[in-house]
Structure 1
Amino acid sequence: MRAYVLCGGFGTRLRSVTDTQKALVPVHGEPFLARVLRQLERAGISEAVLCAHYRAEQVAEQLAALAQDAGLRLVLVVEPSPMGTGGALLNALREQPPYGRYLVLNADTFLDVDGYALIAQGQGNALLSVQVDERSRYGSLEVDACGRLQALLEKGRGGSGLINAGVYAFTCDTFASAAVRACSMEQELLPELLAREAVSVIDYSGRFIDIGTPESLDRYANDFRMESRS
């Protein structure tokens, strides 16, 4: 199974602590992305397409080492200009067409292996969800009684709730006819998909952390200092 890994973020909030491409921020002597890729391999993913633009040359320089470390076949697809999360995926699908159901995920988020395995082993279009105590930083989810996604709600809603973990699975045909354009996954591609097809929501209760802020990066580094490589 293939995963498309979105590595295009500018990492604006991390620039006070690093000048490295966000996915490559070092954690205990290795790129954060290396840890994500190892999780994918353990979940049964055999290859990954890295979708990048900002400081893509840094990803290119480390591509061979990342592939060897994770035991994955890696391909780098570079956007000609910033295309947003949705556009990055559409561009990569054109350059490296899927051969079956595939995963899409953000390169700056860490999950347990079980999270990736849960969604990889399902069927059809799906999104991974996680319950958090404070959801204001994230997009919330509206889900029906049958576990189908009804809507993605904007960031800023406070309190506990169900959020988008940023891991998706799509069938080979889901975006086959979509025109390649700059767009957002959450604000454009997914709402357009919901208008024509069902998207299942898969609950995940394991570890979830993104490194989008200096505080969350520091928390990851402290909490997972002894993260196993086995």
Structure 2
Amino acid sequence: MKALVLAGGTGTRLRPITHTAAKQLVPVANKPVLYYGIESIVAAGITEIGVVVGGTAAEIRSALGDGRRFGARITYLPQAAPLGLAHAVRIARGWLGDDDFVMYLGDNFIVGGITGLVDEFRRERPDAHILTTKVADPTLFGVAELGPDGQVLAVQEKPENPRSDHAVAGVYLFTPAVHEAVAGIEPSCRGELEITDAIQWLIDSGRSVRATTITGYWKDTGNAEDMLEVNRVILAGIEPAVEGLVDDASRITGRVHVEAGARIEGSRITGPAIIGEGTLIKNSVIGPGTSIAANCRISESEVESSIILEGARIQNTGRITDSLTGRSVHIIGDGRTSHTRRLLLGDHSKIHIAS
């Protein structure tokens, strides 16, 4: 069995971060979200992984390499334009051959991984097996109508009048039958080959399509709010550790990981939180729900429920919350503001906060 990981999307909902970085590599709890997906695939016993890449191919290749660091072998499959999930299956046809495969969207996050889902597929081997989860607004997703035995009766892509509240999550398992389905569909009104149309083709052709509904946590990290939520979820499970230096004037409370080479001086860190290697936190308040990446400098400031990427400088800013800042961002204040700021900043941004 192989895995097909989609990492070619442009991440328009995460701009300006994704003007200079692949959305799949934005870190949560100081690790790129794509890594969690690769790790869950390998944990399920799948080590042959094809990664579909687009305009950020060089960055994805640099981050993943040949896959050895994950215990896998990675093959890169270029996609000239993001023309739909079924189009990704089409361009991967030669590499996939006649193997069963799991398709995993690289910006999705599932607590607990996919081992159980893969094992279920291997036992029963329907022509397709999808993962669904109940959502408040199914019009934003592909939607599955399910029978009482878990059989999928119909699927629709972002319907105006959904027939269920079961969204199709970003994990799909297929036998080679899906290739006939992909060949048999036409582009949708969006100009894309929709995987939901291919699944519906299988259903209409009398093929077996089943679903597993997850009750645990799943999130498409396509926007800043979702990214921050996933960050909080992951941080809630980190093992506390102090590998760096914390002076006597500082206080660490709750699940906090201070990485090697980090220094905490005269500050309060409230978990869950992670402080990256080489980072200096001075006379500041950090957390809860905050990830500070490597080689940052934060002084005379408060940062809560935020993701701060590598090399950031935050000085005299007052309180920053629910924020996502890019690499080498420089935020400086006059130290007199009592307002709370919420920021979304791309790499190398410079901003002055006045009272």
1:76-91 residue pairs with structure 2 within 5 A?
76-91=76-91
State the partner residue of 2:284.
none
Whether 2:226 is the aligned partner of 1:225: answer: no
Which deviations, in whole Å up to 9, do the C-alpha atoms of 1:129-175 show, x marking residues without a partner? Answer: 112344343222111223211222342568x8211112111113431
Which deviations, in whole Å up to 9, do the C-alpha atoms of 1:17-39 show, x marking residues without a partner? Answer: 34311111222333211111111
CA gap 1:178/1:84 in 2 versus in 1, 3 angstroms: closer
Aligned residue-pair number: 227
What is the TM-score of this pair, normalised by structure 2? 0.57
1:160-175 residue pairs with structure 2 within 5 A?
161-175=165-179
1:151 to 140, 154, 168: 154
> Is the CA contact (8 Å cut-off) linking 1:148 and 1:199 kept in structure 2?
yes
> Is the CA contact (8 Å cut-off) linking 2:37 and 2:104 kept in structure 1?
no
> Is the CA contact (8 Å cut-off) linking 2:6 and 2:53 kept in structure 1?
yes
> Is the CA contact (8 Å cut-off) linking 1:119 and 1:128 kept in structure 2?
no
Larger RCO, structure (CA 8 Å, separation 6 or more): 1
**1:116 offset after TM fit, Å?**
4.3
Quick check: 163-172 or 24-33, which moved more? 24-33
More strand by share: 2
Q: In structure 2, give the amino acid aligned to 1:135.
A: P
> Is the CA contact (8 Å cut-off) linking 1:34 and 1:69 kept in structure 2?
no
Secondary structure at the counterpart of residue 217 of structure 1: helix
CA gap 1:15/1:168 in 2 versus in 1, 3 angstroms: same
State the partner residue of 1:110.
109
Whole-angstrom CA distance in 2 between matches of 1:203 and 1:137: 18
Whole-angstrom CA distance in 2 between matches of 1:228 and 1:194: 42
Whole-angstrom CA distance in 1 between matches of 2:69 and 2:79: 25
Quick check: 170-179 or 135-144, which moved more? 170-179
Whole-angstrom CA distance in 2 between matches of 1:140 and 1:38: 27
Q: Percent identity?
A: 25
State the partner residue of 1:2.
2
> Is the CA contact (8 Å cut-off) linking 2:134 and 2:166 kept in structure 1?
yes
Q: Flag structure 2 segments of 5+ consecutive residues without an equivalent.
A: 240-355
1:61-80 residue pairs with structure 2 within 5 A?
61-64=62-65, 67-80=67-80
**1:109 offset after TM fit, Å?**
0.6
1:1-230 residue pairs with structure 2 within 5 A?
1-18=1-18, 19-64=20-65, 67-94=67-94, 96-122=95-121, 123-124=125-126, 125-155=128-158, 161-175=165-179, 178-179=182-183, 183-196=192-205, 197-225=207-235
Secondary structure at the counterpart of residue 61 of structure 2: helix
What is the TM-score of this pair, normalised by structure 1? 0.85
- When the two chains are superposed, the root-mean-square deviation of aligned CA atoms in Å is 2.8
More helix by share: 1
> Is the CA contact (8 Å cut-off) linking 2:103 and 2:171 kept in structure 1?
yes
Secondary structure at the counterpart of residue 224 of structure 1: helix
